[in-house]
Amino acid sequence: MRQKNTRLSWLAFHQAMKSAEPGFSFNFFDKEDETLRNACTEVTSADDSDVCNLGSVNMGRISDINEMSEVVELATKFLICGTLKAKLPYEKVYDTRQKNRRLGLGLMGMHEWLIQRGSRYEVTPELHAWLSVYKGVSDKVSRETAESLDISKPVANRAIAPTGSIGILAGTSTGVEPIFAVAYKRRYLRGNNRWVYQYVVDSAAQELIDRYGASPETVESALDLADDYERRMAFQADVQDYVDMSISSTINLPSWGSKLNNEDTVPKFANTLAKYAPRLRGFTVYPDGSRGGQPLTSVPYSEAVAKLGEEFDEHVETHDICDISGTGGSCGI
Task: Check which CATH number belongs to the domain holding 45 and give it.
Answer: 3.20.70.20
The confidence band for 293, taking pLDDT boundaries of 50, 70 and 90, is low
Q: Has residue 247 been placed in a domain? A: yes
**CA 107, CA 249: separation in Å to the nearest integer?**
12
Rounded alpha-carbon distances, angstroms, from residue 224 to 30, 203, 218, 234, 293: 35, 18, 10, 16, 21
Q: Has residue 186 been placed in a domain? A: no
pLDDT in tens, 212-258: 787 888 888 998 899 899 999 999 999 999 999 999 999 999 999 99
**CA 288, CA 310: separation in Å to the nearest integer?**
25
Q: In sequence order, which residues have a C-beta less than 8 Å from that of residue 215 and are 6 or more positions away?
A: 209
pLDDT of residue 316: 58
The confidence band for 152, taking pLDDT boundaries of 50, 70 and 90, is very high
Q: Report which of residues 255 and 331 the model is more confident about.
A: 255
DSSP, res 261: B
pLDDT in tens, 104-136: 999 999 999 998 888 999 999 999 999 999 999
Residues of the chain above pLDDT 70, percent: 92
User: Over the chain, what is the mean pLDDT?
Assistant: 89
Q: Has residue 189 been placed in a domain? A: no
Q: Which domain holds residue 160?
A: 2-179+224-295+317-331
**CA 219, CA 292: separation in Å to the nearest integer?**
27
Q: Are 249 and 231 in contact (CB under 8 A)?
A: no
Whether the link from the prior residue into 22 is cis, omega within 30° of 0, is yes
Total domains present in the chain = 1
Of the candidate ranges 43-52, 88-97, 140-149, 200-209, the one whose mean pLDDT is the lowest: 200-209
pLDDT of residue 178: 94
Q: Report which of residues 290 and 248 the model is more confident about.
A: 248
The confidence band for 96, taking pLDDT boundaries of 50, 70 and 90, is very high
Q: Has residue 217 been placed in a domain? A: no
Q: Evaluate the CA torsion angle 199, 204, 205, 211 in order and state its sign.
A: positive
Q: Has residue 230 been placed in a domain? A: yes
pLDDT of residue 331: 37
Q: Report which of residues 299 and 79 the model is more confident about.
A: 79
Residues in the chain: 333
Q: Does residue 295 carry a pLDDT above 60?
A: yes
pLDDT in tens, 12-70: 999 999 999 999 999 988 889 998 888 899 999 999 999 999 999 999 999 999 999 99
**CA 272, CA 263: separation in Å to the nearest integer?**
16
Q: Does residue 275 carry a pLDDT above 80?
A: yes
Q: Has residue 118 been placed in a domain? A: yes
**CA 238, CA 228: separation in Å to the nearest integer?**
16
Q: Are 75 and 82 in contact (CB under 8 A)?
A: no
Q: Has residue 56 been placed in a domain? A: yes
pLDDT of residue 320: 47
pLDDT of residue 189: 85
Q: In sequence order, which residues have a C-beta less than 8 Å from that of residue 333 and are 6 or more positions away?
A: 326, 327
